[in-house]
């Protein structure tokens, strides 16, 4: 018996799915393109929602933002499910290592009692704000239009759920279950937390998904994360001896640096679409950033005291400079 081995070049009958060929041309598509483009349900919607019969099940007209092509709001990170989970898995490994390092060396036990109390008073109630962000981004994903825009909003929602879990673990490490109960009580009844709680809960009834994107992800998170995790945790508390806490919250600071690139790209593209969009975004940004700043002042005061107004004002200035680069001066 004789066996002949040879190499045969097999030419694929098609380079990509038809809808991707129509958009990008007859060439191989990336995994991001396959998992993100032109897969929004837009046809054969056989009934209108019973809770809002004026809209379609998936309706681009729910928002005041108007786009010729909603797939222009692409994610510069090019996250689809695989790349997203691989990226977060690596970060999870780092965070787990940080928690293990702090716990194995007893670094949490070395915190001065007043410093430990300051950390718990500031960070544990924020797990409820992160849960609110999870709910709000889930709404944007459900009611927004175009997978390139809504898909990363769901990833953002799950990231916030993870942040809430990390803050819960931090509370358990520094103060056991009592710390979580105290954080919940502060969120529900503490005077310093009521403006922020009102902000988060008011966002939950915003029906325009793009306005909610601005209110939650741009205005609130754009001020909260630099103030809490950069100015206070990495700055003030670390200088006072709480560098272990900075290790436990490393993910939050790095996550914000990563995700704001996506948010800025979305805002810049939407604002550049038309004067109408730019004017709408300017109004939303001014309204919600003013409210977010006012809500954060009493929270920042819990650690910085009389310096809180100055810290928030400085962050507002930095935030306006950042948003101005997206073409939305306000």
Residue 18 counted as domain residue: no
Q: Is 6's pLDDT higher than 90? A: no
Q: Collect all residues with Cβ–Cβ distance below 8 Å to 298 and sequence separation of at least 6.
A: 191, 192, 193, 195, 196, 308
Report the domain count for the chain. Answer: 1
The verdict on residue 94 lying in a domain is: yes
Across the chain, mean pLDDT equals 95
- Domain containing 154 equals 80-324
Ranges assigned E (strand) in 203-306: none
Percent of all residues in the chain with a pLDDT value above 90, rounded to a whole number: 89
Answer whether residue 1 shows pLDDT above 70. no
Asked if the structure places residue 151 within a domain, the reply is yes
User: Rounded mean pLDDT of 145-156?
Assistant: 97
Residue 84: which CATH number? 1.10.620.20
* Residue 37, in any domain of the structure: no
Note whether residue 145 is domain-resident: yes
Q: pTM here?
A: 0.94
In a domain, 172, yes or no: yes
Q: Would 70 be classed as within a structural domain?
A: no
Q: Residue 151 corresponds to which tokens in the numbers above?
A: 């898909």
Could you tell me the pLDDT band of residue 10, with boundaries at 50, 70 and 90? confident
> Is the model's pLDDT at 20 over the cut of 80?
yes
Token digits of residue 106: 């007893």
pLDDT confidence of residue 326: 97
Residue 111 falls inside a structural domain = yes
Distance separating alpha carbons of residues 85 and 155, to the nearest angstrom: 9
- Per-residue pLDDT band for 124 (boundaries 50, 70, 90) equals very high
Q: Taking the CB of residue 86, how many other CB atoms lie within 10 A of it?
A: 10
């Amino acid at each position: 018996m004789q066996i002949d081995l040879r190499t045969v070049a097999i030419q694929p009958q098609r380079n990509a799915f038809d809808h991707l060929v129509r958009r990008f041309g007859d060439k191989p598509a990336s995994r991001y393109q396959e998992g993100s483009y032109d897969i929004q349900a837009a046809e054969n919607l056989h009934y209108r929602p019973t809770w809002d019969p004026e809209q379609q099940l998936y309706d681009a007209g729910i928002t005041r933002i108007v786009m010729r092509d909603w797939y222009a709001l692409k994610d510069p990170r090019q996250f689809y499910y695989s790349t997203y989970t691989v990226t977060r898995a690596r970060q999870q490994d780092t965070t787990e290592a940080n928690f293990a390092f702090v716990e194995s060396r007893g670094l949490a036990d070395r915190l001065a009692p007043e410093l430990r109390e300051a950390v718990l008073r500031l960070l544990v109630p924020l797990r409820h704000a992160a849960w609110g962000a999870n709910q709000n981004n889930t709404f944007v994903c459900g009611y927004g239009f175009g997978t390139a825009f809504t898909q990363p909003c769901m990833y953002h929602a799950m990231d916030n759920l993870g942040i809430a879990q990390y803050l819960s673990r931090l509370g358990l490490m520094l103060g056991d279950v009592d710390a979580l109960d105290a954080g919940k009580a502060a969120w529900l009844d503490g005077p310093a937390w009521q403006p922020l709680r009102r902000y988060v809960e008011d966002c939950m009834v915003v029906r325009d998904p793009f306005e909610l994107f601005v209110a939650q992800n741009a205005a609130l998170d754009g001020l909260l994360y630099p103030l809490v995790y950069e100015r206070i945790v990495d700055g003030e508390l670390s200088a006072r001896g709480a560098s272990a806490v900075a290790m436990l919250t490393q993910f939050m600071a790095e996550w914000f640096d990563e995700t704001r690139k996506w948010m800025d790209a979305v805002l810049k593209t939407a604002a550049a679409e038309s004067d109408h969009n730019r004017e709408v975004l300017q109004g939303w940004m001014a309204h919600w950033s003013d409210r977010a700043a006012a809500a954060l002042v009493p929270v920042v005061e819990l650690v910085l005291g009389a310096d809180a107004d100055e810290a928030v004002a400085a962050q507002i200035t930095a935030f306006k400079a950042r948003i101005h680069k997206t073409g939305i001066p306000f």
